[in-house]
Amino acid sequence: MTQTTKEIINNRIAKNSRPAVWRDVEDEKWNDWKWQLANRITTASQLKDIFGIGADEQKQIDMCLERFRMSITPYYASLMNVNDPGCPIRQQCIPTKNELRKNPGELSDPLAEVEQSPVSNIVHRYPDRVLFLLTDKCAMYCRHCTRRRLVGKTDCSISEEAVVNALEYIRQNTAIRDVLLSGGDPLMLPEGKLENIISRLRKIPHVEIIRIGTRVPVVLPMKITHELLQMLRKYHPIWINTHFNHPKEITEESARACEMIVDAGIPLGNQNVLLKGVNDNAGILKELYTRLVKIRVRPYYLYQCDVAEGIGHFRTPVEQGIEIMRSLRGYISGYAVPTFVIDAPMGGGKIPINPEYLVSINSDQAVMRNYKGEFYTYPNVTGKT
Ligand SMILES: *Cc1c(COP(=O)(O)O)cnc(C)c1O
Ligand code: SF4
């Protein structure tokens, strides 16, 4: 870890800031991803025992758990201030009764991924790339997950038959040059199985890049091991996108995981969701994005919250996201500015939604507004020789 990184990490989880039940766990165990997974919080009564939540809340959580799963790693849970209902960590991992509300326009499959699936586990929406869903498991189940119709339902990873069919589909479609491994969280697969799939994918000549979408660096950073990275780097070019939503999630542990990934030659991006009450604020996102680039993570997309069921309480007005983007562009490094997108319902794909900088355009000139709102013109050349 570089000195600068050390300086910016101000929220390292000291042993004595862990909840009492875990205070005596030796570091060796704490830093072992298997221990973290084995000790995940999955029931309301565990939350009561560990964090002392009240009976009312326990009841509400139990009701939510009939529909959507919960699973919180001790590492992630230790970042939470349980006494603050607005804590950005708490809101992302502990269900509230808001999840039981069904709002107009919400869909169980908001992105029509089922419809755009030519063979099971593949979503083919764009000409040159596909989504390849490897598992429905995640280290932690995010309360705002858009794919909750699948995620955490059966706890199973892909069958060999489905792998064969998916690979065959990719092999037959020579236009596919980019395969995005997703889920669930692909890094939850046993490493041998993951390598098996990636190595077979690599044998397909027209597959140029392989991408992995994973929240493991944020919620289970100890799972990013040298062995895992040694394996992945054999199959370069590999790209990874992770999912940090709040600066509180950048800790010594998660920063180290990101640095290890980048040091293995894997470009690392971040896709995050604009979440009401969690990060719907220009100051918070500015801090998140500038700190991410310090640990060499490139903000890639900022998503408007989808119309998935049970996440209405996280949704912000579209205008708010546009205003946030306006206060980022020009004010911080371009590298720290993601593209704000709405993943259109019904499978329309990701549509960039930007503040409008172009005021007018004709064959003579383009009139533009800069980041401060000042007007500039650029002489146009349309139709001139
Ligand atoms: C998001 C997504 C992709 C990747 O899109 P990029 O803009 O290239 O990151 C590909 N396929 C599906 C179905 C997606 O949802
Ligand atoms: S890690 Fe991704 S897929 Fe898994 S629960 Fe969170 S948002 Fe959903």
- Domain positions in the chain: 3-97, 122-352, 356-385
pLDDT score recorded for residue 10: 45
Q: Which CATH class is domain 122-352?
A: alpha beta
Would you state the pLDDT for residue 357? 97
* Mean pLDDT on 141-146: 94
d(CA 238, CA 377): 41
- In this model, does residue 54 exceed pLDDT 60? yes
Average pLDDT of the segment spanning 148-161: 79
**Entry pTM:** 0.94
Question: Residue 137 Cα, ligand 2 centroid: separation in angstroms?
Answer: 9
More confidently predicted of 59 and 115 = 59
Q: What is the mean pLDDT of residues 274-302?
A: 98
Cα 38 to ligand 1 centroid, rounded to whole Å = 32
Q: How confident is the model at residue 110 (pLDDT cuts 50, 70, 90)?
A: confident
Q: Is the pLDDT of residue 8 over 50?
A: no
Report residue 43: phi and psi, to 5°: -130, 160
| CB of residue 180 inside a 6 A radius of ligand 1 | yes
**Which residues does 255 contact at the CB level (< 8 Å), separation at least 6?**
1, 5, 8, 9, 295
The pLDDT value given to residue 16: 76
Q: Is the pLDDT of residue 181 over 60?
A: yes
- pLDDT for 329 equals 97
Matching residue, tokens 């709405």: 342
Ligand nearest to the CA of 138: 2
Protein residues whose CB sits closer than 6 Å to any atom of ligand 2: 138, 141-142, 145, 147, 151, 183-185, 215
Chain mean position to CA 259: 17
- Element spanning 349, H or E: strand 349-352
Residue 273 reports pLDDT greater than 90: yes
Give distance in angstroms: CA of 136 to centre of ligand 2: 9
Instruction: Quote the CA–CA distance of 270 and 267 in Å, as a whole number.
Output: 10
What pLDDT does residue 299 have? 98
Cβ–ligand 1 contact at 181 (below 6 Å): no
Average pLDDT over residues 378-382: 90
